[in-house]
């Protein structure tokens, strides 16, 4: 009898765990606002961040021409991130964000002030609040201005590790696994030779980690023409992390070949 009781008790606990997991899954909101905490980039991407080089040239500040909507329905929580750096929004940023969201109730209002805010000498809090508000209001130009902020703002690495460019690029990276527009922005940043290597390496790795379908063809074309060994290495590492993906494995091998062609000292065995 005691053995039967133990089995029934074990089954009840197992059933309760399964039910709890299902309830948790179906109760997750389909939309959440951009994260209030600054979480680190995924491992395959964060490992590609390097020290700043030269600042972007004048052409790097050109406004992207094609607007695209960004859907941040499940940003990566800090608890699942590698080396997360929690950052609580300041009261100023929260107030600015609320004001921008209210302004966004008028169609086109936020978009009309975006470049002026991002190009200004104003505080980081105001620029991040604007970017958050663009996502909050589901602006069709949210990706456009996140890309612009990544290109035009301060380098990724700052004294606090919390620059506007880091926020904008990390937001694109977190959305890249489900948003084609975010992936297109990362591809544009990652393979733009006019941009600093720190931006290119991080964005290229993120694109390689998330691209799918026809985007894999785009990545192969980019790898064939890429001349910077650091960008090639970043893509190769990201592709190698895609376990069990034949297309990624093939492109990783292609990256090795290009690395060997670009750098005679590259001695890794090419499969």
Selected residue with higher pLDDT from 203 and 18: 203
The pLDDT of residue 55:
37
Tens-digit pLDDT profile for residues 17-64: 433 433 332 233 333 335 444 444 555 555 454 333 333 343 444 444
Which pLDDT belongs to residue 23? 32
pLDDT in tens, 142-197: 999 999 999 987 666 555 557 899 899 999 999 999 999 999 999 999 999 999 89
The 10s digit of each residue's pLDDT in 74-95 is 333 332 232 334 344 566 899 9
In contact, 196 and 155? CB cutoff 8 Å: yes
Per mean pLDDT, which range of 77-86, 92-101, 225-234, 248-257 is the poorest?
A: 77-86
Q: Calculate ∠ Cα 169-174-178, nearest 5°.
A: 125
Write down the pLDDT at residue 232: 94
What's residue 100's pLDDT? 96
- Say how many C-beta atoms besides its own lie within 10 A of residue 205's C-beta: 30
For the chain, the structural domain boundaries read 30-262
What pLDDT does 257 receive? Answer: 86
DSSP 8-state class, residue 58: G
Q: Is the pLDDT of residue 73 over 80?
A: no
Instruction: Check residue 264 and give its pLDDT.
Output: 64
Q: What token pair was written down for 249?
A: 């494995």
Question: CB burial class (10 A; 0-12, 13-18, 19+) of residue 84?
Answer: middle
The string of pLDDT tens digits covering residues 99-157 is: 999 999 999 999 999 999 999 998 999 999 999 999 999 999 999 999 999 998 766 65
């Amino acid at each position: 009898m005691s053995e039967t009781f133990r089995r029934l008790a074990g089954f009840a606990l197992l059933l309760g765990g399964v039910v709890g997991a299902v309830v948790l899954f179906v109760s997750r909101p389909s939309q959440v606002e951009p994260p209030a905490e600054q979480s680190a980039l995924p491992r395959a991407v964060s490992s590609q961040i390097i020290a700043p080089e030269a600042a972007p040239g004048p052409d790097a500040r050109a406004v992207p021409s094609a607007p695209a909507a960004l859907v941040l329905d499940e940003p990566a929580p800090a608890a699942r991130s590698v080396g997360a750096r929690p950052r609580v929004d300041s009261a100023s940023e929260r107030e600015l964000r609320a004001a921008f969201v209210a302004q966004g109730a008028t169609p086109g209002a936020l978009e009309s002030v975006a470049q002026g805010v991002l190009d200004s000498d104003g505080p980081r809090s105001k620029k991040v609040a604007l970017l958050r508000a663009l996502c909050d209001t589901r602006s069709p130009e949210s990706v456009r201005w996140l890309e612009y902020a990544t290109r035009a703002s301060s380098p990724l690495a700052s004294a606090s590790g919390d620059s506007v460019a880091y926020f904008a690029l990390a937001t694109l990276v977190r959305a890249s696994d489900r948003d084609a527009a975010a992936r297109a922005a990362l591809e544009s940043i990652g393979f733009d030779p006019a941009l600093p290597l720190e931006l290119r390496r991080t964005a290229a790795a993120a694109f390689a980690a998330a691209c799918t379908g026809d985007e894999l063809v785009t990545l192969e074309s980019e790898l064939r023409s890429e001349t910077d060994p650091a960008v090639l290495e970043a893509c190769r590492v990201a592709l190698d992390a895609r376990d069990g993906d034949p297309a990624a494995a093939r492109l990783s091998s292609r990256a090795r070949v290009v690395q060997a062609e670009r750098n005679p000292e590259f001695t890794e065995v090419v499969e």
